[in-house]
Structures are given as C-alpha cells and as structure tokens.
Structure 1
C-alpha cells in the first residue's frame, strides 16, 4: 500500500485550473460556506488525494487510488472521509464506488456530520437512496448532531425528505435549537416539503419553542405555506415567545394577512373539521393504511387530503 501523502505533498499535487473553470479555491470556499460552523477549517489542510478525487467527481482517479491501496475510510483531522466529500458534491458514481469498496456509510465527523447529511445538503436524492440501501442510519444519533431531515427541509429537497420519511424517520423529530422539520420548511419557504410533512402526519402546530410553523410562514408572507397550514388545522390563536399571534406578525397589506383575516371571519366548515378530527383519531402511524380501508376512492382522497 502506498504511503499516504503528508499535508504538504497533498497540496502540491493539486491540479491547476483549466480553461473555463472557477479560480483555484473557489469550490473549496463554496463548500466551507455550505458546511458553515459544522466543519473546522483545519480539515482542508490534510486531505488525501482520495478526498480530492471524491470531491471533484474523478471516478477513474478514485478507482485507481483504491486499487493502489489507499484506505477507503481515510480521515482528515476532523474525521472527514472521502465518502463525505463525494456526497457533499453529489457525485453518485463516486459514492457508489466508495460504498462498494467498503466505505463506512455511517461515518461521522467531529461535528457529527454524516454522509447522509451531506447528501441532503447537496440535494442528491440518488446519493441518499444509495446510502440508505447500504445501511445508513436515517435517524440522528444524538440530539445535538446535524439532522439530515432538517437539512433536506432547509434545502427544499422533497425527494430527499421522502426517502428519509419512507425509512421511518419521525416527521415530528425536533432539534432543540432548530425546532421541528415542519418549522424549518416554513422558515425557508419550501412548500413542497411542508406539504409532504403534513401529509405524513406532522404536528401542524409544532415549531420551535412557542413559535409555530404558522408564525414562520406568516412572517415571511408565504401565501402557499399559510394556506397549507390552515388547511391542516393550524391554530391561529397560539402566541409565540413575544406573546404575539400569527396575524400580528403578518406584513401589512400582504397576502398572508388577507388569508388570516378571511379565516377569522369564516369558521371552518364541518367538512374540514371532520377531516382534521378523523385524521387525528387515526393517528400519524396509521395514516399510511388509509388506502387499505374498504372505502370509496372519493372518501379515501378526502381523508388523505389529496
């Protein structure tokens, strides 16, 4: 097995920028920004050629290095593996090659970042599926670790979100400093993720502390989000940590304010109240069995809210 290059040697092996490519360091700086506080700067000083190949999607170079004996689970000071790099860049072929070579799909950095989290950060649902099919744990190991579910909602990746939920991830999973996944999707105005979570039975009023998803949607004047939350039974009278109701956060003259005012003067119909109550009685864990009930298709659609 070849000697693993030192940090200095690793730096000297970097290729120069080719015509039409971003300036040297551009991709690296973009990734640092993507990882935010989750990755220490030191991890970029001791990356191996295998890390570089995985990050840049160089499949042939990756396979060559693996065949030469480079450890597939080689880590930086911050425990970043080549699989972390490939997932963060969304390089499916490299992810597959690394997994086939025995990469640890549940490897964590010193900050608790997993390849699954990085796949959600890049919005690559194919990478997410590859990891899950090969034993990646869809649930966060510790409450303070970065959550793949929340990252998918933050990035607005509905496909990644659906993959995680299909593996039994709790749609109401709460991260203390972030809140619920529904709150994050509303905060970042990703209606497709909000809709998916609500259909899976996420608690429509569970947000971050006393702030509800409706507070977040109204504050950003996101009409579609507000409409979805109201349809699924959001309580317009709940107050946040500043003792404010959602209507008091709505921008003057905005569409969210109009929706809330219309809702306040027009009580929910019996049809709406019945659906909300029945879905609550069925319970989130049994919503997936609605299609199996001996009911007319129209009634099933009514209960599923489709």
Structure 2
C-alpha cells in the first residue's frame, strides 16, 4: 500500500487508534503497515520497556520499512526522549534518511521536541541534508514557528542562510508563516535580511501577510524597502491598503534611517554572519555589545 501523501491528516477523533499523521509527504499510521516492525510501534508509542525487550531479543535498532523509516524516526516524531536515548545507545543511525530524505532531526523539528533534538545533535546529527532537494530541519522549524528548535540548530552550527530552491531561505519561510520570534533569531545570528525566494524578499512576504511587527523587525535589521519582486512590486505594494503594515512602510520610505541604525548595520555587515555569535566574547562594554546584538 502506498504511503505517499500530500494532504493533511484526516479528520476524526484524535483518540482513534487509526489516527494518521503526515510529515513531509510520509504517512504515519500506527498498525497499518505490512512492513512495520514491533520495534517501530514501541518507539512510536513510547513503550520503553517493550522497546528494550525487543532490542534484547535481537531486533536491530536500524530496522526499516520499505520507505526506510526507522524506529528512531518514529520516536523523534512522537517526542519520546527515553526511547530516542535507548535507540541511540545501541547504535541507531542518527542520520538515517527515508526515501524522501526525512531524517530523525527533521522529525524533531516537525514535532517541536527540543529534548530529542539535543540528543540527536550531541550524537552527531547533521544540521543540513546532503542534497538541497531533501527536507531541511531548519526550514521545517521556521515553518512551524518552533523557535527553540531554531535556536538549538543555530547554536550547533546550522547556516541561517541555507537555501532550498523550492522554499528559499529559512528567514523567508519564517516570514511567510508570520513567525516573528524565529525571524528575529535568524537575523540576530546574521541571516541575510534580503535573501528570500526567487525575486521575492522576506519583507515582501511579511508585507503580504500584513504582519506589522515582523516588518518592523526586518526594517530594523536593514531590509530594503524598495526592492522589487519578479512582477516589479515593492513590499508596500503588497501590504493591504490602509492597514498598519502599509502605513509603516509608507512612513519608512518617507524618512531615512537614523545614524545609529546605519552604524550598527555597517558594523554587523563588516563582521559577517560567522562572527556575529562571537560578540559576547569581545572585550566590549555591555552597552555596545547589546547595541550590536539589536537588544
């Protein structure tokens, strides 16, 4: 039976044993897969004692389905930390990928479980996929607004400007889904404020979504308000007329940035994104450090 789906989970009672969940096109339906092992079920349901017994009886930690879904994938998607720890302790492949390129780390970002994510990262999980057409944990965390996951990935070396051809930059995805906290986190870590998807910038996405708070954050971090998308439109042209976002963009275009803003943007630009995170280590007055960190 095919398990490829593009649709959202089916409606119905959340307590139903046939409840289905989707993750990047892979359908997960407990008890319905012919090639699904008891170890998969135990990991998905968080049944630690059963999982340990099955491992002791000879089930391999990296046993997978026809789509290369492993028990570790299941444990991470369901957020069962103890099961994740148990599987890793017996050699589960932390970077195992399904036929769609989904990794356990990606599933952590989908479920928003930071504890599982930290275990994976400490065990050598790669923050980015091997191929740009594979799912990206950072993009998924930004899409879902899981800011703690974003912070964890960035602190373990994830590139805030990692581009996917079909999604664009993590910042663009975050703006597209109106997640201000994730966007600010990316920007504070040195993400390029104007890197979006195709000819559209993050500011275009935020303006179209009529998210004034997010637009304000982007402008404060140096977003170009006069950039035009593939259709020749500026962000102000995409904002709903008369709304708060539209008024904010009109007012910004009518007044220059302050000298304070210009100096901060120039210094951060000269430092580059790889050095921004080292700001707290510099022998600078705390007031200057906070200024450069946009605090």
TM-score, normalised via structure 2 length: 0.92
Please list every run of at least 4 consecutive aligned residues from structure 1 whose deviation after the TM superposition is greater than 4 angstroms.
38-41
CA-CA distance at 1:40 after TM superposition = 9.1
**SS at the partner of 2:278?**
helix
Could you say which structure has the larger radius of gyration?
Answer: 1
Between the aligned partners of 2:165 and 2:173, the Cα distance in structure 1 is 12
Structure 1 residue 205 corresponds to structure 2 residue 189: no
Q: Is the 8 A contact 2:46 2:83 kept in 1?
A: yes
The within-5 A match list for 1:101-140 is 101-140=90-129
Q: Which runs of 5+ in 1 are unaligned?
A: 1-6, 8-19
The residue aligned with 1:74 is 63
CA-CA distance at 1:38 after TM superposition = 4.5
Between the aligned partners of 2:39 and 2:76, the Cα distance in structure 1 is 14
Give the direction of change, closer, same or farther, for the CA distance of 1:108–1:244 in structure 2 (3 Å limit).
same
* 2:264 corresponds to which of 263, 271, 275: 275
* 1:224 corresponds to which of 199, 213, 218: 213
The within-5 A match list for 1:1-306 is 22-26=15-19, 29=20, 31-32=21-22, 35-38=23-26, 44-306=33-295
Q: Is the 8 A contact 2:24 2:102 kept in 1?
A: no
- 1:122-144 per-residue CA deviation (whole Å, 9 max, x = no partner) reads 00111110001111111211111
Q: Is the 8 A contact 1:40 1:78 kept in 2?
A: no
- 1:86-123 per-residue CA deviation (whole Å, 9 max, x = no partner) reads 10111111111111121110101011110000011100
CA-CA distance at 1:291 after TM superposition = 2.2
- Mean Cα displacement is larger for which, 286-295 or 214-223? 286-295
User: What is the number of equivalent residue pairs in this alignment?
Assistant: 282
- 1:145-192 per-residue CA deviation (whole Å, 9 max, x = no partner) reads 100110111111111111111121110000000000000000111111
- Mean Cα displacement is larger for which, 290-299 or 53-62? 290-299
Between the aligned partners of 1:200 and 1:175, the Cα distance in structure 2 is 19
Between the aligned partners of 1:127 and 1:264, the Cα distance in structure 2 is 45
**SS at the partner of 2:284?**
coil
Q: Is the 8 A contact 2:24 2:135 kept in 1?
A: no
- 1:57-98 per-residue CA deviation (whole Å, 9 max, x = no partner) reads 111111111111111111000000000001011111111111
Between the aligned partners of 1:60 and 1:21, the Cα distance in structure 2 is 25
- Mean Cα displacement is larger for which, 162-171 or 73-82? 162-171
Q: Is the 8 A contact 1:39 1:78 kept in 2?
A: no
**SS at the partner of 1:202?**
coil
Between the aligned partners of 2:205 and 2:14, the Cα distance in structure 1 is 39
Q: Is the 8 A contact 2:194 2:223 kept in 1?
A: yes
**SS at the partner of 2:25?**
helix
- 1:191-233 per-residue CA deviation (whole Å, 9 max, x = no partner) reads 1110100000000000001110001101011111101000001
Q: Is the 8 A contact 2:178 2:211 kept in 1?
A: yes
CA-CA distance at 1:24 after TM superposition = 2.5
Between the aligned partners of 2:273 and 2:206, the Cα distance in structure 1 is 23
Between the aligned partners of 1:129 and 1:138, the Cα distance in structure 2 is 11
